[in-house]
Structure formats: C-alpha cells, structure tokens
A and B are shown apart, each in its own frame.
Chain A
C-alpha cells in the first residue's frame, strides 16, 4: 500500500514519520551499542559520575591500562570467573533442546494438522493453557521430586524440562505450518501404497524445512533466554550463561569488578545479534505465522 500513497504525502508528515523512527531506533539500539562500547573500558569510565564523556573517550582506561580500549573485563569474566564453562553448557543445552523439541514437535504437529478429530482440538487447547503457565510455578513442582530421584543439578534434566516447556509452542507453530502444506501431497502418496509414516518420511520431510527452521529459531531462543528454570535446576558447576551472570553479579559488584559482568553480558548478547542478522526474515515470518495464517 505504501507505494501509491507515498507520493502524495505532505512533507511535514514525512518529517514526523522520520523523526519518530529515529527516536525509536535510538531507544531500541542505543542501550546495546553503549554497553558494547563500554565493555572495553574500565569501571571508572563506564560508571562515571562526573561525565558520560568518560565512557566514550576513556581517560581512566588510558591511565590504568595504557590504551583507550581494554579486554580486562573479558579476561576476568571468561578466564578468572570461568565463564567459558557456562558458554559450553549453554551450547549443549540450546542445541539439545532445539533438536529434541523439533523431532517431537514435527511428528506431533503433523498428526494434529491431519487428524480432523475432536480430540486434536482439545490437545491444542490444553497446550495453549500449558503455554500460559508461568515457568517458575512449574519449577516449584520439579524441585522436591528431582531431589528425591537424585537427578537435580545436571544438564540432561534441564534439557528435558525445557523441551517439555517448549512443546506447547512448538506444537502450535508446526501444526499451523503443516496446515499450509496441501493434504493432497501426502494423501496421494498413500493412495500409491505408502503408509502414513512413509508418506510423512518421503513426501512431507523434504518440504517441511522452512517451517522447521523458523520453529527451531524460537525453540533456540526459549532455551537460550531461560532464567527461571535453569537458575533453579542447575548446580553451580553446570550453570548456563544467564544464571551464571545472575549468580556472579553480586560477588563481582562487591569486589569492584562489575566490568566482568558487563563483559559477560555483552558476550551473551553477541550470538543473539548474529541470529537476528542471519534469520531476520524467518523470525518475522515465524512471529506472524500464528496470527496471519491461522
């Protein structure tokens, strides 16, 4: 609709639109740019009461380290405080959660999309209610049984819990994606003598990847961004990045090493930047899939 209308738009309106967008972009992007820049300074510069110009030019950084930029915060976080271990744990958790969620979700979502039975509707509605449960309320149900079974604190437990928490969303999204694949495709394969599973394997799997990639991105984000479950279910040695940052926040603040936390935060943000950079189109289409397509 924009092309035909744009030509007739008065200049004043264009200025308002432009100004509004610039304002929003500053609001959305500036905190990140500021923190990335500041993470290469010393604390006296990044947290300066005198003037925020200090964070830009870094006079104390030059004074203390001899150069306008320093990687001390990163060294402190990754090496001194063992952040690398948390990064490894996050990699294991997110990749496992994504792969398992998608395997279960594609099978279930396909069945729901093709069923046509009343109970398929009810499963989707129950999944919607499960999707609404605050994660922390579920966590309070896990702890005692997990202590009893002696499976608290290890990565596999958290992975399975995150997969389960993720299922309602994955089912909904893949269900609506499979609805958009014409039924005739797998049904004609079945007329040719395939069983339902063979039809799924030979006909549906080759065409399902766009939907699976989009859903996978959101499964990844859920596992990556989780704080409520991983902070309660993982022991200190097995922590992933987000609970790790939260747990060393207090101690580094007391020791005057807040820059460790700043560097860790920036380190945890970078993968998300890269994700949006490469998968912007899939993220946008995934967000709208539930709404526009049904």
Chain B
C-alpha cells in the first residue's frame, strides 16, 4: 500500500468522544500552549509597537573661577531608571520600529531607488541593510539546504538499501550522528576543524599555499561553510525517512518493471521516486520549518560578520547590556509573518483535503 501523506489520517470516524471528556483530556496541553506559545506571540506584537524610553537628560552648568561657565548635558541615571521601572514597556512608537533602518528601512529603500547606478548597485545597497541581509541568508539557507539535503539523503538511502544486511545497522548508527547532535555543539566541532589551526583549515592553507586563507575571511566562504553544515546536519533526516519508504516499495511493481526491460535508472525514476513523493512533501515541510529558524550555526561558527539570520537578529537584540525589546519584537513579528507565508500553501491544501473528506 502506498504510504499516506501525514494529513490524510488526521482523525478516524466512529464513536465520537463527548465534548466534555475530550476537553478534560486535552485541557492541560491546550493551557500550556496558550500560555507559552499563543500569549508570547501577543506579547511580542504589543512589544513591537513600543520603544525604549529616552534617557533623561539634565543640563548642568559648570562654572570655573576664570573660564566662565560651560553648560554640559548629562544623563540623569536615577530619573531614567525611575521611568523605566514605572513603565517597563517603554513609550508607544506605533509602526516606527518596523519602518526604521534596522528593520524594513522604508526611507533608505526609497533613497536607494531614487538614486542608484543600476540593478547591481540597488541589490548591493539593500543587502547592506541589516534586516534584508538576514532575510537574504535565511531564505537562501532554506532554498539551498532543503533540496540538497534531500538529494543527499535519498542517495544515502538508495546506497544503504543496497548494502549487505549486517553492515546496515552500524552505517545507520553513524549516519544519525550529524542530525542528533546539538546544533551549537555540532557547529563548534566543525568550526574547530576549519579553524586556521584546525585540521581542515591548516590543510587547506597548505594545499593552496596561502597562509592567510581562512574560511571565515570572505562572505562567500562563510556562506559556503554554513550551507555545508546545513546539508550535513539535515541529510540524515531525509535519509531515514526515505530509507523507511524504500522498505515499502512493492516488490511486484519493481519486478514487472524489470520484466518490461526497465533499466536500473528507469526503475528509480518511474517506480521508486513516485512511490516516495508523498514522503518528500513531508520531509520538505519539516526541513523548511527547521531551516527557517537557522540560528545556532551562526553563533557556533562566529559567522555574524558575514552571515546573519532573522533568528540571530532577535537573539542579538535581546542579548547584551541594553535589551532592545521593541526591536526584537518587530523582527519576531516579521519572522512569524514569514513562517505563515511559507506554510500557507500547505495549510490551504490540508484544509481542502479535509473538507473533501468530510463531504
């Protein structure tokens, strides 16, 4: 039997559970999700409309016996702290944070379009704005890592399926490691290897006879390293799912394809790939969701100079001495909007199929 896509078997019909009993069972889970997922989303939206208080400035006159008087402006720390304590959210800023230079940068984009020297110039200057730089990397990471990891996973699945029975177990064990490892730790392990003093970094320098070669040196090499890490850590998931799918390929269909004279490649192309297609949708969905939140490798590889992501921007706003809640909130809301746009096709399709099933 063909494996069903995950959304087909959502519920089974039969003797329905009464509403009261249903909610008695599910209430704790719902409360947890409302309090710690739904409510924080609301809190993020509210925060994004506020901005930190301005510091309270006082003018102090400094008079010296012979030099006359000079007026200096300094920050009144006590008064600033008092305002902050009485109203921790900050002052209302409307959409100001969304439109400023660190986010959508509406004014700057206007200027770029008004005066530029061509398409290359527009792209380069927009890329220099922090939000668009992060957006570019996040989208590129999703769009490049997801298909490459799926291809590599599929190739590994085909190869492992062809191995003798005894070797399969150990091969699967080692193949799982890049996926199971904590993302921050996995990227640190690779980072130490590509460090100019690590095994890969030092060897590359010797191969290219360039003592200054560093994989962190240029944006292109940094992107390449992060993308490589992405494929490395994502491929095992595709591999495991496709490998399980290969076990359910109907032997009859394969045999009849062979009798009809289908070559090895044709059997993969016309029997195996169509059989695995529903699984591929599932894998792609999960990986796009996970890759969109790419964050730990940027910390692990210390790559923030050349590559940032939306999640990293939020982290950067929140860590450090002055926590910019308004700025972090605005980036978070934009990120959530991005995720919803990405998920819309899937949700629409699921909804349509569910309705067909009901009718």
Binding site for B on A (CB under 8 A): 1-2, 4-6, 9, 13-14, 17, 20-21, 24-25, 27-29, 31-32, 34-35, 46-49, 51-52, 55, 103-105, 107-108, 110-118, 120-121, 123-125, 127-145, 147-148, 160-161, 163-165, 167-168, 171, 176, 179, 183, 187, 196-197, 200, 221, 224-225, 227-228, 231-232, 242, 245-246, 249, 258, 261-262, 265, 268-269, 272-273, 275-277, 280, 283-285, 287-288, 290-294
Contacts and interface: CB of A to CB of B under 8 A. Distances in A.
Contact of B190 (A31, A147, A275, A288): A31
A28 B175 contact: yes
Interface centre among B169, B240, B249 (most CB of A within 10 A): B240
A9 B162 CA distance: 9
Given A28-B174, A224-B182, A268-B185, A139 B10 contact: no
Given A120-B22, A133-B339, 20 more contacts: A32-B181, A104-B28, A114-B17, A117-B17, A118-B358, A133-B37, A136-B314, A138-B44, A140-B318, A140-B325, A144-B47, A167-B32, A183-B14, A197-B21, A225-B183, A227-B295, A227-B299, A272-B182, A292-B3, A294-B4
B3 to A, nearest CB: 5
16 contacts: A2-B162, A6-B164, A24-B156, A47-B192, A47-B195, A52-B203, A111-B21, A129-B347, A133-B339, A140-B318, A141-B44, A225-B182, A246-B184, A265-B185, A269-B181, A288-B245
B296 to A, nearest CB: 5
A103 B29 CA distance: 9
A130 B248 CA distance: 31
Contacts of A46: 192
**Secondary structure class of chain B's binding surface, majority of residues:** helix
B101 interface: no
A34 to B, nearest CB: 7
A2 B157 CA distance: 12
B22 A117 contact: yes
B184 A49 contact: no
B283 A265 contact: no
Nearest to B251: A1
Interface string B72-85: 00000000000000
B5, B36, B333: which has the most chain A beta carbons within 10 Å?
Answer: B36
Given A1-B161, A47-B195, A111-B26, A161 B36 contact: yes
A141 B41 contact: yes
Contacts of A283: 176, 180, 240
Q: Which 7 A-B pairs have the closest CB atoms?
A: A141-B40, A294-B9, A164-B36, A111-B25, A134-B293, A108-B29, A137-B332
A52 B204 CA distance: 12
Contacts of A115: 11, 16-17, 22
B184 to A, nearest CB: 5
Nearest to B254: A1
Interface in B185-208: 185, 188-190, 192-193, 195-199, 202-203
A227 B37 contact: no
A28 B236 contact: yes
B151 to A, nearest CB: 13
Interface in B36-61: 36-44, 47
B62 interface: no
A148 B88 contact: yes
Interface in B155-185: 155-156, 159-164, 169, 171-178, 180-185
Interface string B222-238: 00000000001000110
A164 B29 CA distance: 8
A200 B278 CA distance: 33
> Which of A120, A127, A137 has its CB near the most chain B CB atoms (within 10 A)?
A137
A161 B35 CA distance: 9
B322 interface: no
B241 A35 contact: no
B343 A132 contact: yes
Given A115-B22, A141-B43, A287 B350 contact: no
A114 B8 CA distance: 15
A294 B8 contact: yes
Contact of A143 (B17, B198, B318): B318
A7 to B, nearest CB: 12
A169 to B, nearest CB: 10
B335 interface: yes
A120 B26 CA distance: 10
Contacts of A47: 192, 195, 197-198
B183 A227 contact: yes
A279 to B, nearest CB: 10
Contacts of B11: 112-113, 115-117, 120-121
Contact of A32 (B41, B177, B183): B177
A160 B36 contact: yes
B172 A280 contact: yes
Given A2-B162, A31-B193, A52 B202 contact: yes
A129 B343 contact: yes
Contacts of A129: 339-340, 343, 347
Contact of B202 (A29, A48, A196, A261): A48
Contact of A31 (B37, B189, B195): B189
B33 interface: yes
B289 A291 contact: no
A274 B172 CA distance: 14
